Structure 1
């Protein structure tokens, strides 16, 4: 039974139209958007969520979009107080607090997809690594030689370090705290694969890849774009890389979530020529 169906006896038809169709469950924390017009029904909404998901300890209302240098959305608790939680995916456990560091369950399938592409002995770089889901899933599901994760947000870095220990991948995953602009140029050697899971700004960091990805290596580049631009997006991205002195071919492009009406998150798998 959907949230709307659970609320149909408590909200008017007009109010029901304002109820969001979905919400995100991160461990035992729910993140939901509730328009101001129906905030007086917040208790009913919480009760409906708890009826469907009895393990939930906290419900957070999203009150601000992902923003700022650390790319964290703003939330207000409408039920419970504890915001730190443990998430399980692909045999891994992640300690995370969504009010302090970005984490999305919705990208779980994409993280597995990337991990399955990683060949034995590869050296992988994950920029904007957050609390470590990409590096740790890769370390667990593949057999890389090394996975380097770079993250600026100190809260995310602390969780990243804890998650490396929690998942026993200390010998494979290297955590670096800092700005990719400063860190990546200092990294020695080349990488077989680079993951850039920051769709809002990845294009600003393409230049850092010059000389850092071996020929024949791969870049997984995430971006937001209009559905209307989908057909020309591969060529658009190829040219962005060309402008920064990198020749690439687009091996694959796929949607991996939506951002707004007619605006999607895309990932492009690129081979460096």
Structure 2
């Protein structure tokens, strides 16, 4: 049920049209986007959400997009106060505070898709690993030899390490704190699969990813693009790989979330091989 459905008997139709339809529930914390022009409806929005979702302890209004080196959005508490919570997906538990580290349930299906692609015995690298959802879902749903996660945000790293323990995957998942540009080149060996789930700037780190992917391995590149720009984005990725001395083959791509009107998050699964002479 959308937020507009919850509010339709509480507010005027002309105001209802300005309310965003969706909100996100992370454990017992809700994140909602309330435009300034309907901010006066804040209390009604809180009541509507609590009527439908009685387990909710805190409601956050998003006031700024994900940004900065640590990839954290800005929020205003409009109900409750405790922002740490435990989210559940695919039999996994993730302790997280969305005001300190990025996490979204909207990518739950995408994480499962990737995990189902991982073959037995694969070695997987997750750049920009956050609190560990990709790494841990892969460890729990497939049979990799090792999953390595690299994250620069100290708060996210702390949650990542705790989540590894919570989900009992200490024997499979390795956590590294630091900038991927410094950490990844120092990692031993190569990986069958590299994930780059940072759509704001993943393209800028392809030169790091190709250093560590096996010849014939797969890189999963997440990026934002306008609906009419997808083919152009695909070609730019392949051109960038050629500039780096590699050939790329796009095995699959799809939309996996909305960012703004007519701008979406996309994932490109790209098989990478070293250019032959």
Is TM-score (shorter-chain normalized) higher than 0.5?
Answer: yes
Answer yes or no: is the 8 Å Cα contact 1:72–1:99 preserved in 2: yes
Distance 1:178 1:211 in 2: 17
2:60 partner SS: strand
**Which moved further from structure 2: 250-259 or 227-236?**
227-236
Question: Taking structure 1 as the reference length, what is the TM-score of the superposition?
Answer: 0.97
Deviation at residue 17 of structure 1 after TM alignment: 1.1
- In the alignment, structure 1 residue 111 sits paired with structure 2 residue 111: yes
Distance 1:265 1:157 in 2: 24
1:57-76 residue CA offsets vs partner (Å, 9 max, x unmatched): 11000011111110100001
Answer yes or no: is the 8 Å Cα contact 2:29–2:57 preserved in 1: yes
Deviation at residue 212 of structure 1 after TM alignment: 1.2
Distance 1:6 1:247 in 2: 50
**Which moved further from structure 2: 206-215 or 121-130?**
206-215
1:98-137 residue CA offsets vs partner (Å, 9 max, x unmatched): 0000001000000000000000111100000000000000
Question: Taking structure 2 as the reference length, what is the TM-score of the superposition?
Answer: 0.96
Distance 2:29 2:210 in 1: 40
Answer yes or no: is the 8 Å Cα contact 1:210–1:245 preserved in 2: no
- In the alignment, structure 1 residue 243 sits paired with structure 2 residue 271: no
Deviation at residue 94 of structure 1 after TM alignment: 0.3
Alpha-carbon RMSD: 1.1
1:203-230 residue CA offsets vs partner (Å, 9 max, x unmatched): 1111112331111211001111111112
Q: Which runs of 5+ in 2 are unaligned?
A: none
Name the structure 2 match of 1:154. 154
- In the alignment, structure 1 residue 209 sits paired with structure 2 residue 209: yes
Task: Give the paired residue count.
Answer: 273
Deviation at residue 95 of structure 1 after TM alignment: 0.2
Answer yes or no: is the 8 Å Cα contact 2:209–2:219 preserved in 1: no
Name the structure 2 match of 1:180. 180
